Amino acid sequence: MTLQMTQPAPAATPRRLTPGDVAARTTSHNSLRETLSQTMSMAWRATKKMRRNPEQFFDVTIQPLLFTAMFAYLLGGGLSGSVEAYLPLVIPGILAQTALTACMATGVQLREDMEKGVFDRFKSLPMARIAPLAGPMIADLLRYAIASTLTFVTGIAMGYRPGGGVAGVAMAIVLTMIAGWSLAWVFTWVGTLARSAQSVQGISMMIMFPLTFMSNALVPVETLPGWLAAFVKVNPVSYIVTATRDLANDGQITGHVGWALVACAAVIAIFAPLSVRSYKRHL
Amino acid sequence: MKHIPAVHAEGLVKSFGDFRAVDGVDLHVDQGEIYGVLGPNGAGKTTMLKMLATLLPIDGGRAEIFGVDVRRDPHRTRQLLGVTGQYASVDENLTANENLWLFGRLQGVSSRTSRATAAQLLEQFGLQEAANKPISQFSGGMRRRLDLAASLITRPPLIFLDEPTTGLDPRTRGQMWDTIRELVAGGCTVLLTTQYLDEADQLADRIAVIDRGRKVAEGTPDELKASVGNSTLRLRLTDGADQAVAAEVVRRLLGEDPVLSPESGRMNVALATADRAADVLISLREAGIGITSVSVDAPTLDEVFLALTGHDTGDSSDPSAAADKRQLEVAR
């Protein structure tokens, strides 16, 4: 830009640049560093919000306790002969399930947030359009960490002894957080599409139930009819559950872990651009 | 010396389906002025502002902010603007301090500078005592001031204010006006929309009157008011039957027809200057016409509108405006 201002700045505020100077200093887009900094600022905002609305933690604290106990006692005897024998199968499954439920809330809250006046300001600021979406998702990593830790604690209290040891469990928790963050993009996309928070909730439920239950989270694939097994095998949640089992039960970083990460990357690659595009259209 | 206009727009158009909310508006705002966009609800003021602020796509025409093309370069445009909307756009979950800090950080201001600027702005806007309170405890006026402060954190050279005082009590309104004047004294350019002629009169160097998406008039507040007379004499006659005679008296004296409302015996007379009121009153006494009440007021937006467009603002939310509207309709 070749904007030359020969006019002196008003004497009252010598700090102020002339508008021409400001116009000449503008940049055409956000750098990666700016985008990251904006995303972290939005994450900071989300953590403040969580601290002031502690009810946001209900799902990630109550559900791990409830689901672990419920499914283990309900299905353990029938599927594996005993609750203890079922736990190594079901704990990683419930881990994925709670992460998925936790990231469902991401979409609902984004939608609620977008209704508020403050989002008008976010839109009017020269900030990266991905920051308001990715920021809260980074804060949500805390929720996934809480949910997965509590699931393990409940399991261990019920007699689960993970063969992978502390390192295996830690890696399983990290994988769950990565998976939660990746799958949250699906719900973020729904959040930018739907007209109200309620409809986000409804649509998300319809996505979440098939994804979690039509996977190997609760039952071995071998017990399923062929058509169902075919879906279960391509479901990204199945990859994540298998990888989590390998990490928590065997302490091994297997090919399944690699495939789970590939599945996560694929989900991000599809749904992150879709979300940003749909969010921009709201402008 | 080349002077780049703060806002330069030609033939701005925004359509929602078949409805043209903004229908070919030209706008030229010079640096350092307060430019008022005056019009009733639904005239297209906010839509126009949103297009200029990159919040709505521009359907037709072109706009430049300090020489930056709004449509082609929205990111650059956003760096030159501070936008304060009709409804406070601050985060309810954060305190005043946290809000300002966040908006600074989001625009690349360092954490330390952001904190310092936040403190300075809160003091300037008389909010330092509420700095660490949640926004939910703020009054309407405090929210508006915080909202304006949030637009100023990067000290942008141009501020958009969308109805900055709608819904505020008179005292808070006056404070807001002072703040806006200070901004301009500090070298800022302000583009504001308002429904109040009074507000545009108090603040704006130049005013555009917008009606149904079109600019129907532009000028200084004085020019605009002169088009309807600087004041209005409102009379109620003792005997409504005298109206025709009274109207004739006024016509002979001022060369203009008064606005009559037969059922209430009211009569409004536009005056070039307020002291012409005495002439009218004396003439009415000489004609032997009795008067029960008299007042001399500044013209309302309704009267400016009627003069400029031939129809009223169509806003019946305010009972006195509704009464005026009825009078005007009867008079037509």
> For the segment B280-326, what is each residue's pLDDT rounded down to a tens digit?
899 888 888 888 888 888 777 667 777 777 666 654 444 444 334 33
CB atoms A41 and B107 under 8 Å: no
* Nearest residue in chain B measured CA to CA from A123: B55
Residue A232 resides in a domain: yes
SS (H, E, C) chain A: CCCCCCCCCCCCCCCCCCHHHHHHHCCCCCCHHHHHHHHHHHHHHHHHHHHHCHHHHHHHHHHHHHHHHHHHHHHHHHHHCCHHHHHHHHHHHHHHHHHHHHHHHHHHHHHHHHCCCHHHHHHHCCCCCCHHHHHHHHHCHHHHHHHHHHHHHHHHHCCCCCCCHHHHHHHHHHHHHHHHHHHHHHHHHHHHHCCCHHHHHHHHHHHHHHHHHCCCCCCCHHHCCHHHHHHHHHCHHHHHHHHHHHHHHHCCCCHHHHHHHHHHHHHHHHHHHHHHHHHHHCC
Helical ranges in B152-275 per DSSP H: 170-185, 197-203, 221-226, 243-254
Arithmetic mean of pLDDT, B16-38: 92
In a 3-state reduction of DSSP, which class is residue B116? helix
What value does the mean pLDDT of chain B take? 84
CA distances from B251 to A244, B254, B286, B295, B303 (A): 92, 5, 15, 19, 18
B161 touches A: beta carbon within 8 Å: no
| Listed residue (A231, A201, A194, A205) closest to A216, CA to CA | A231
Which one of B91, B114, B159, B183 makes the best mutation probe of the A interface by having the most chain A beta carbons within 10 Å? Answer: B91
Report A:199-228 residues touching B (Cβ under 8 A): none
Is residue A13 in a domain? no
Report yes or no: B29 and B5 within 8 Å, Cβ to Cβ: yes
Whether A9 and B187 lie within 8 Å, measured CB to CB = yes
Give tens-digit pLDDT for B169-182.
Answer: 888 888 889 889 98
Give the lowest-confidence range in A15-19, A244-248, A277-281.
A15-19
Amino acid found at B208: A
**Token pair for residue B125?**
């806007």
Per-residue pLDDT tens for B120-136?
999 988 888 999 988 88
Do the Cβ atoms of A22 and B156 come within 8 Å?
yes
In sequence order, the 6+-apart residues with CB closer than 8 A to the CB of B319 are none
Residue A142 lies in a domain: yes
Is A118 in contact with B92 (Cβ distance < 8 A)? yes
Element (H, E) at B93: none
CB contact under 8 A, B55 and A120: yes
A282/B contact by beta carbon, under 8 A: no
Q: Does residue A38 sit within a domain?
A: yes
Is the CB of residue B110 less than 8 Å away from at least one CB of chain A? no
What domain count does chain A have? Answer: 1
pLDDT at A265 over 60: yes
Distances (CA, A) of A207 to A64, A279, B3: 20, 20, 57
Cross-chain Cβ contact A125/B53 below 8 Å: no
Q: Which H/E stretch holds residue B314?
A: none
Is A14 inside a domain boundary?
no
Residue B4, min C-alpha distance to chain A (Å): 8
Residue span of the structural domain in which A73 resides: 31-281
Token readout for B16 is: 């929602």
**Residue A12: pLDDT band by 50, 70, 90 thresholds?**
very low
A212 in any annotated domain = yes
Alpha carbon B321 to chain centroid distance?
16
Chain A positions in Cβ-Cβ contact with residue B68 (cut-off 8 Å): 1, 23, 26
Confidence of residue B89 (pLDDT cuts 50, 70, 90): confident
In a domain, A25, yes or no: no
Reply yes or no on whether the pLDDT at B192 is more than 90.
Answer: yes
Inter-chain contact B88–A1, Cβ cutoff 8 Å? no
| Integer angstrom CA distances of residue B182 from A207, B29, B34, B162, B244 | 54, 18, 11, 18, 50
B31 contacts A16? CB cut-off 8 A: no
**Per the CB < 8 Å rule, is B90 touching A122?**
no
The closest alpha carbon to B211, from B313, B58, B86, B329, belongs to: B313
Task: State which amino acid sits at residue B170.
Answer: P
> Which of B73-110 are b and which e, b meaning 16 or more Cβ less than 10 Å from the residue's Cβ?
bbbbbbbbbbbbbbebbbbbbbbbbbbbbbbbbbbbbe
Please, are residues B70 and B57 in contact by the beta-carbon 8 Å criterion? Answer: no
Within 8 A of B100 by CB-CB distance, chain A residues are none
Residue A6: inside a domain: no
What structural domains does chain B harbor? 7-225 (3.40.50.300), 228-331 (3.30.70.100)
ipTM above 0.85, yes or no: no
